[in-house]
Structure 1
C-alpha cells in the first residue's frame, strides 16, 4: 500500500498517536510515517505517508504551513502554551490597536528561538525528553519566514490570528515573541493547522471517518501528490 493520507488530527493526541491508531486499526503491511510533528494541543492537517510515499515525505515537509492560532496575553509558561506550568504573569496594558500592530510586525524573515520543550533533537533525543529529566536546553535561533499574518479577532487578553509560514516555524514561539514585544508575555491557547502546501483541512479526513471508510477511499497516490506539488 503506497500513498498519502490527509488527516485532521484531533487535539489531545500526539502525531505518533495517529500513526499508532492507523497501525492498530488497519494493520497495513508497509512502512508508515508522517511529514511533520503537530503538538498534542494542536489539531488540524497531518499528512501521513504509507509505503513508497515515506521516501518522498521530505518534499511535503518542506511545504509552507498555514495555522489559525489563539494566544492569551499576560501569561507565560515553561512550554509556551496553556499545557505548561505558569512561570510569570503580567498586566496587559496594550490597546487593541497596539496588539494588532505588534502582530502584523512579525511578517517577513525572522530570527526565532524554538521552544525548549519541543520535538527538536539534542544528542539524538527530543528536547522534551531532556526537559522531563530536568535539563533545560535552549535551542539556537533559526531563520524562519512568515509570508502572511493577520489578526482575526481581539478580545483582550485573547487574540486570534492566522499565519502562513515556512517549515520550522513554531507558532508557540511566535506567540511568545509577540507577547515580549508588547511587554506582557503571551502563551498559545489553541492551534489549528489549516493547510500544509496544497493539502487543506477542508479536504482532510477525521480518524472516525477513516475507521468507517477504511484507508483506500482516502489514500492519495504518489503521482497525485506530485501533481498537487507541481512536479512529475
Structure 2
C-alpha cells in the first residue's frame, strides 16, 4: 500500500497579493500550510522584490496552471535611468552608468519597438535553464552567460508617468516576459541605461491583485473555514477555453480517460473543457461530437 499524502485534498485557486521580500516558492509553501493542502503550485514566478498577483493552485487546480501561465499578464513598474545593474533591477550591483536622460519625445518614439512580437534576451539572473542549470545559480557563481533571445508578445506598453530620473510604465504581455529585460533594453535604446526600481503585477489572466489575499491575512486565517472561503474554483484556470457541457454518463467516461459525448458543439479539433453541472470534468479536444480528454479532474 502506498504512503498516504500529507494534508487534505483541497482544490481551487488562492490569489495572493505577494509582498516584496519573499520568493514565490515561499508564498506557495505558506498557502499550502495554511490550508493543510496535499498539493500546491503557482502560475508564473514573481521575483522576490516584485509584488502583486501570485495565483496559487491547490490540488486538481494544479492541472490548469499551464493555461494561466500562457494567459496575458499586466505589470506596472518604474524604470530608473542612468545605471545598469547585474540583476537589471535595484537589488543588483551597478555595472554601468550614464549621465544621459531621455526626454518625453525620445521615450515615446522608442516604445513601438517593444510592442507586438519581439525577441527578448532574459536577464543573467533568471530561471532560464543553461545546460540543465538555472541561470540565477550560475550568475551567483560569477559565470557570464550568452543567453539566447526568446520570443515574447507584448500587447501593450505605455507610459503612465515620467520625471527627470525615470518613468513608470504599464505592460501587458504573454508568457515568458521579463520586465527587467524591457527596462534594460529600453535604457540601452535611449542611450541612458536603466533598470527596474520596483515592479507590481496587477493582473494575470482572470486574477486581479485587488482581490488577492495578503500573507498577513493568510496567517491570521490559517487552518480556519474563513481561509477556505477565500478559495476560488479551479474552473477559473480554464477561463480561456471553450466550455462544453456533458451528461453524467459522459462525465464518468471522461474521468476514466475515455471520450465522452457532448451536449453541445464546438469547433472540430478545438481545445475545450468538459463540464457537468458547472463542474470541470476534463480538458481535451472536441472531435465528432465528443470530448477526447487529455487531463481529467478527480474532485
TM-score using structure 2 length? 0.73
RMSD of equivalent CA atoms: 1.5
Structure 2 stretches lacking a partner, 5+ long: 1-9, 244-299
Whether the 8 Å CA contact 2:15–2:211 is kept in 1: the answer is: yes
Could you say what secondary structure the match of 2:114 adopts?
A: coil
Count of aligned positions: 230
In structure 1, the residue matched to 2:102 is 94
Q: Which has the higher contact order (CA 8 A, sep 6+)?
A: 1
- Partners of 2:144 and 2:39 lie apart in 1 by 34
Larger Cα-atom Rg: 2
Q: Please show how residues 23-102 of structure 1 align to structure 2 within 5 Å.
A: 23-28=32-37, 30-102=38-110
Give the Cα separation in 2 of the matches to 1:220 and 1:127: 34
Instruction: Tell me how far apart the structure 1 counterparts of residues 28 and 41 of structure 2 sit (CA, whole Å).
Output: 7
Cα shift at 1:121: 1.7
Say if 1:96 and 1:156, in contact at 8 Å, map to a contact too. Answer: no
Which of 13, 35, 42 is the equivalent residue of 2:22? 13
Q: Secondary structure at the match of 1:218?
A: coil
169 and 224 in structure 1: CA distance in 2 versus 1, 3 angstrom threshold: closer
Aligned residue in 1 for 2:205:
197
SS at match of 1:38: coil
Query: Retained in 2: the 8 A contact 1:34–1:46?
Result: yes
- Shift of the alpha carbon at 1:230? 4.5
1:170-202 deviations in Å (ceiling 9; x for gaps): 110000111011011100000000111111112
Structure 1: 5+ residue stretches without partners: none
CA deviation after TM superposition for structure 1 residue 136, in Å? 2.0
Q: Secondary structure at the match of 2:152?
A: strand
